[in-house]
Amino acid sequence: MFPEVESLIDLDGYPVHELDRGAGRAMVEAARRTFDDTSLVVLDGFLRPAAVRRITEQSLADAARQGYRFTGSNNVYLGTEPTAGRSAELDRTYTKTTPAFDRIDSTSPLKALYGWEPLAQFIEAVVGRPVHRSADPLGAVTVHLHHDGDEQDWHFDVSEYTVVLHLHAPQAGGVLQYVPRSRTQLTQNHRALREIAAGRRHALTRDLPTVPGTFVLHAGRVSMHRVTPVHGPDPRISATLSYNISPGLRLNEYTRRLYFGRDR
Ligand SMILES: O=C(O)CCC(=O)C(=O)O
Ligand SMILES: [Fe+2]
């Protein structure tokens, strides 16, 4: 159905289309162990260089034409914890340009990847439960461009799982920092949450630099994370594909307005 998808991925290194054969099975086993241990799976060189170039060029064009640019602050819970999230000290800095799902070209390889069944099956095998693509008209698949000085500060995602594809690296900064499976602990320990939000490094904080072609699967709803400020003339570009544990789920209005400047 999506013949081009097979040319986007290094299927020799990552046989996601053959999960029930030897190499595919071994890959899933390894990814599953890593996900259990760290809340995250990183596959270097997952996208082929030509695919990275093509998606990057298209993303720059989509962003220049109709990317939404936001500067302000976001709540760490993105509207998913109405009471705990009301404190102004948990509102964090947020500046980036995001073309929404409906502004990403319909021929984009990102949409083909999202619709490709073997990728969804791989994610299910790694996280160990059924997953469903997001039904959000704006946020199901999104591109993020961080220019010099841009960042996305600490937050928990609305979606349960997110695939992040690294497309372009900045000269410096733009690191994904995350505190694995920290939601319950930090929601019960407001002081620790405030300290991380205020910039103090938590003992469990991990760093993931941006390397084009890399596939990242992470449990963004339970792992607090941020993208550190980007420095230099080259933007950091990433794309996110969102998954939930129930069908038909969407972002909330707060997050749609924050990310895209509109609710639909
Ligand atoms: O670009 C990334 O690495 C992650 C972006 C992110 O956390 C988000 O959009 O919620
Ligand atoms: Fe996120």
Enumerate domains of the chain plus CATH numbers.
Answer: 5-260 (2.60.120.620)
Residue (of 101, 21, 114, 11) closest to 62 by Cα position: 101
- Using CA atoms, how far residue 50 sits from 16, 54, 128, 165, 197, in Å, is 19, 6, 32, 14, 38
Cα 222 from Cα 135, distance rounded (Å): 20
Rounded distance, CA 116 to CA 2, Å? 7
Calculate the CA 228 to chain-centre distance.
Answer: 14
* Structure token digits, residue 234: 């080259």
Scanning the structure block, which residue is given the tokens 């505190």? 179
CB 249 within 8 A of CB 161: no
- 98 CA: nearest ligand 1 atom: 9
Smallest-distance ligand from the CA of 208:
1
Per the CB < 8 A criterion, the answer to whether 136 and 186 are in contact is: no
220 alpha carbon – ligand 2 mean position (Å): 6
Q: How far apart are CA 94 and CA 226, in angstroms?
A: 10
Ligand 1 mean position, distance from CA 161 (Å): 11
Q: Nearest C-alpha to atom 8 of ligand 1 is from which residue?
A: 157
- Angle at the Cα of 213 from the Cα atoms of 77 and 93, rounded to 5 degrees: 25
Tens place of pLDDT per residue across the chain (264 aa): 455 899 999 999 999 999 999 999 999 999 999 999 999 999 999 999 999 999 999 999 999 888 788 777 777 888 787 655 556 556 667 688 889 999 998 889 999 999 999 999 999 999 999 999 999 999 999 999 999 999 998 999 999 999 999 999 999 999 999 999 999 999 899 899 989 988 899 999 999 999 999 999 999 999 999 999 999 999 999 999 999 999 999 999 988 988 888 998
Q: Using a 6 Å CB cutoff, which residues line ligand 1?
A: 144, 152, 157, 164, 176, 225, 227, 238, 240
Compute the distance between CA of residue 106 and CA of residue 251 in angstroms, rounded to an integer.
Answer: 21
The pick from 41, 152, 179, 221 for probing ligand 1's pocket by mutation, whose C-beta has the most ligand atoms within 8 angstroms, reads 152
Q: Which ligand number lies closest to the CA of residue 96?
A: 1
